[in-house]
Structures are given as C-alpha cells and as structure tokens.
C-alpha cells in the first residue's frame, strides 16, 4: 500500500485520523506520518496502524526483496565451520 492508501484506510475503515491514532499509542503524529511514508520503520507504530485498518503489517509494508535477513551468531558459526 502507498501512503495515501494507508491514510485513506485509517480514515474510512478505522474512522481515525493520524493525530488520534498517535495519541492512542502515545507517540507524536509526526512519528506516525513518518512510519506511513516509510521514513520510520517502528514495529510498534506499524503494528498499531495495521491493527487499526485490519490488515497484516506485511500486506501494508511488504518486505523489500533486496533486504538481507541478518543471521544469528549460531548461523554464522555453522557457516564458518564448513
């Protein structure tokens, strides 16, 4: 979803405006706007937005296919032993 679709879903589906959601979760409205625009990747804010509009976080912000998933230390050691 793009930022306009997210804000539209908040206003139409959840009947919430960004400042109201921000107040509910105890953050600034700027933090919520930044998350919607993709400038901030706060899991807590993303989760609150997703819950408000009734969609999974992954549907709103799909994982970037170019992003590498960090390996755990045990995975790194196993790889080094081979």
Give the mean pLDDT of the chain: 84
Confidence check: pLDDT of 59 > 70: yes
Ordered domains of the chain (ranges, CATH): 3-60 (1.10.260.40)
- Separation CA 11–CA 36 (nearest Å): 13
pLDDT for the residue 64:
75
Confidence check: pLDDT of 70 > 90: no
Query: 38-54 pLDDT, tens per residue?
Result: 898 999 999 999 999 99
User: What contacts 19, CB < 8 A, 6 or more positions away?
Assistant: 29
User: What contacts 47, CB < 8 A, 6 or more positions away?
Assistant: 57
Radius of gyration for the chain, computed over Cα atoms and rounded to the nearest angstrom? 16
């Amino acid at each position: 979803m793009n930022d306009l679709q997210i804000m539209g879903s908040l206003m139409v589906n959840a009947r919430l405006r960004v400042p109201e959601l921000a107040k509910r979760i105890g953050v600034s409205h700027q933090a919520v706007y930044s998350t919607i625009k993709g400038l901030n990747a706060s899991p807590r804010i993303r989760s609150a937005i997703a819950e408000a509009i009734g969609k999974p976080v992954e549907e709103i912000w799909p994982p970037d296919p170019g992003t590498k998933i960090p390996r755990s230390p045990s995975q790194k050691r196993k790889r080094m032993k081979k």
